[in-house]
Amino acid sequence: MQERDKDQSSVGEALKKKIVDRSAHLGVIGLGYVGLPLAMEMAREGFHITGIDVDKERIDSINAGRSYVLDTPTETLRAFLAAGKITATQSLEAIRELDTVSICVPTPLRKTRDPDLSYVIAAAEAVGNYLRPGQLVILESTTYPGTTQEVVLPILEKSELQVGRDFFLAYSPERVDPGNRIYTTRNIPKVIGGITPRCTELAALLYQQFVERVVSVSSPGAAEMVKLLENTFRSVNIALANEMALMCNTFGINIWEVIEAARTKPFGFMAFYPGPGLGGHCIPVDPHYLTWKARMNGFEPRFIELATQINNQMPDFMVSRVIDALNNKQKSLKGSKILGLGVAYKRDVNDIRESPALEVLQKLLEKGALVSYSDPYVPEIVLGNQSLHSVELTPTVLQSTDCSVVLTDHSTFDYAMIVAHSHLIVDSRNALKDFSAPHIIHF
* Domain with residues 2-218, CATH architecture: 3-Layer(aba) Sandwich (3.40)
Which pLDDT band, with edges at 50, 70 and 90, does 8 fall under? low
CA distance 52 to 101: 10
Residue 437's nearest CA partner among 253, 274, 429, 422 is: 422
In three-state secondary structure terms, 36 is helix
The candidate with the shortest Cα–Cα distance to 33, out of 391, 427, 345, is 345
Q: Is 123:106 a contact under the CB 8 Å cutoff?
A: no
| pLDDT one-digit tens code per residue, 421-440 | 999 999 999 999 999 999 99
pLDDT digits 0-9 by tens, 176-208: 888 888 999 999 999 999 999 999 999 999 999
Q: How far apart are CA 206 and CA 202, in angstroms?
A: 6
Instruction: Enumerate the β-bridge partners of residue 320.
Output: none
Give the torsion through C-alpha atoms of 101, 105, 342, 255, to 10 deg: -90
Neighbours of 438 (CB within 10 A): 7
Beta carbons within 10 angstroms of residue 261's beta carbon: 9
Residue 372 β-bridge partners = 339
Q: Which of 199, 248, 282, 403 is catalytic?
A: 282
| 282 catalytic residue (yes or no) | yes
> Boundaries of CATH 3.40.50.720 in the chain?
2-218, 257-442
Q: What angle do CA 365, 276, 116 make, to 5 degrees?
A: 85
Q: What is the pLDDT of residues 251-301, one digit of tens each?
A: 999 999 999 999 999 999 999 999 999 998 788 899 999 999 999 999 999
Average pLDDT over all residues of the chain = 95
The fold of 257-442 is Rossmann fold (3.40.50)
